[in-house]
Structure 1
């Protein structure tokens, strides 16, 4: 990863990232460690090899836990363990998601409930779990990863786009409720970021060319573009930003 900017106030901060050992989440963990933050993260699979790599690179070892974020009791337990390890969580990044493709007609109640549990419910209860610690610490920052997919009205994953629209509404309400406690809530909506998963499963030359044609900026999005935005939203550099949705998509959608 490239250190494009330094945010001194992130050094030593207790950061918690869902899905922080793979995909964009792994880049986020790398990015926060490069700032000197103390990072805890959860994911479904073992992350020992990744933690070894990060410790060798940064001299700081992330605190990794295995957790299914749709299990709210387990998620709360993981957040409590992170606070025990690194102190009260003052930066939360709700990053983990499942954007499995599906048609509206094939969705069952079980699939719908599981999709919302991963993509929306876990976000709310993670936010709820960190509020007391952030309040006691004098404030904090939450970044909820959304997606431009719902703003584009994309077909092919309606349960996912519904959850992402909900993330934006939830973020605004929590920003209003906890602003007096100096706890900031912002959402970040990436465009089509070329992670390994995206390249393996969805990227074709034709689809990529068509998407870039919709962008104002004619370049591909890289994970570093998302890392830089999350670091900014987590730091004091954005201290008067809350309840906002930041789109990092090369200019496909416009907000405001």
Structure 2
């Protein structure tokens, strides 16, 4: 697929969490092809090294950092290393998350805490670290990854949807608090994106047909479609976009 060219992204330092697979991997590739200096964080070393190696064969540079985002001390170390290596972070994409299904009666306090840490907590603390870096140059863009799931009440995802709903509130709060420092904060809200994980775990021919019927535009959403929105919102073309949610869901209204 071809992308629009955003000259303002060339040479910018971009940090992407969860960049080793799915939507995150598509974002790593998209920003790298814009000439950005891409650093990406993931817990899965095997997947991430494949992404890095694939881009290298295209002549594109990217830098993988292995880190469990639940470990906030390790997160701080990774961000400090990125800044030391390439200078202030100019774009942060808070993409990492996990949509494991769960029954309400099976949720324990420890499971709740772990899922909130995986899906919500790190977004705030990564934004905190990135914003401190961005303030030194008076500009920056933070993109938080939401989900259409809580807008349509997907079953067996109560804790995940709680986190994703919170991300939209987090986006509004950060946009207000950081705007005076030249930092824009937005939320991308994907619909049902056809990633390898979704295809392997959740999709069947029957559910695929039902999904397309629930969308205004009856075509599957690919990771690249979400990456295109990220490129725009991170670029200077979106200079007056902040504090909002941008849906990439083909008009998804659930079933």
Q: TM-score, normalised by structure 2?
A: 0.96
Output the aligned Cα RMSD.
Answer: 1.2
Partner of 1:51: 52
Partner of 2:127: 127
How far apart, in 1, do the equivalents of 2:197 and 2:50 lie? 19
- 1:160-205 CA deviation, whole Å, 9 max, x = no partner? 0000000000000110111111101100110111111111111111
- 1:28-67 CA deviation, whole Å, 9 max, x = no partner? 100000000000011112233331221221x232111110
Whether 1:104 and 2:104 are equivalent positions in the alignment is yes
Contact preservation (8 Å) 1:63, 1:82: no
**Deviation of the 1:135 alpha carbon:** 1.1
Partner of 1:178: 178
Contact preservation (8 Å) 1:3, 1:34: no
Q: TM-score, normalised by structure 1?
A: 0.96
Gaps of 5+ in 1: none
Poorly superposed stretches of 4+, deviation over 3 Å: none
Q: Secondary structure of 2:136's match? A: helix
Aligned residues: 252
Gaps of 5+ in 2: none
Partner of 1:218: 218
- 1:211-237 CA deviation, whole Å, 9 max, x = no partner? 111111011111111010010111111
Partner of 1:20: 19
